Chains A and B, each alone.
Chain A
Amino acid sequence: GAGVSQSPSNKVTEKGKDVELRCDPISGHTALYWYRQSLGQGLEFLIYFQGNSAPDKSGLPSDRFSAERTGGSVSTLTIQRTQQEDSAVYLCASSSAAGPPTKGKNIQYFGAGTRLSVL
């Protein structure tokens, strides 16, 4: 597709259940990022993938969170044993490469996000 696609757009789950969120980046983009935005907060970095390098997981809030990127394209963010504080909008972004962002290069393009509600 032309842009970053995320699914589902909305997810309601019960506390303690596992959820999987999917991201389809822009074709050809080697860098992929996951962020989350809690109510009234800015975007919080979670994890990013760059090509075949080991992902930067420094933003993951706990070991209940994990992500993978298969074949250098689609990524899945998994949250195990969800808690109410996990409720947020989860945003995925991709860029042509990881590096200093300048106009037209290495700019992160975002999907519309998945709104996760944990009851």
Chain B
Amino acid sequence: DQQVKQNSPSLSVQEGRISILNCDYTNSMFDYFLWYKKYPAEGPTFLISISSIKDKNEDGRFTVFLNKSAKHLSLHIVPSQPGDSAVYFCAASEGNTPLVFGKGTRLSVIA
């Protein structure tokens, strides 16, 4: 039973355009959501987070949107750069519980 779902295994975007990565969850008790980025042979690195009391959080080129009624969040990257090519993991937590991760979406930014 997957509590965090990333239904798109891969996404290709042209350099300069917007990348939109989606994530759905089933547990309405999740109160924090995070995005991690992972390059091959490296551990995931934290990118951006959002609390369930907010609907948007922005950090430079990265913006996360949260729609609690739909149990859906998305990560927008604008403009996309070749260095953004990586696997992006959505994760969620409920209070102090460990993170629950999705399976990831592989983003390829084409120059």
Query: A residues engaging B (CB < 8 A)?
Result: 4, 33, 35, 40-45, 48, 56, 59, 91, 93, 98-103, 107-113
Contacts and interface: CB of A to CB of B under 8 A. Distances in A.
Interface residues on B, range: 20 to 34
A42 B88 CA distance: 10
A93 B46 CA distance: 11
Interface of B: 4, 6, 31-32, 34, 36, 41-46, 48-49, 51, 59, 89, 91, 93, 95-96, 98-104
Interface SS of chain A: helix, strand, loop or mixed? loop
A72 to B, nearest CB: 18
A38 B91 CA distance: 17
10 contacts: A41-B103, A42-B103, A42-B104, A43-B99, A45-B100, A98-B96, A101-B32, A101-B99, A109-B46, A110-B43
A100 B31 contact: yes
B96 A108 contact: no
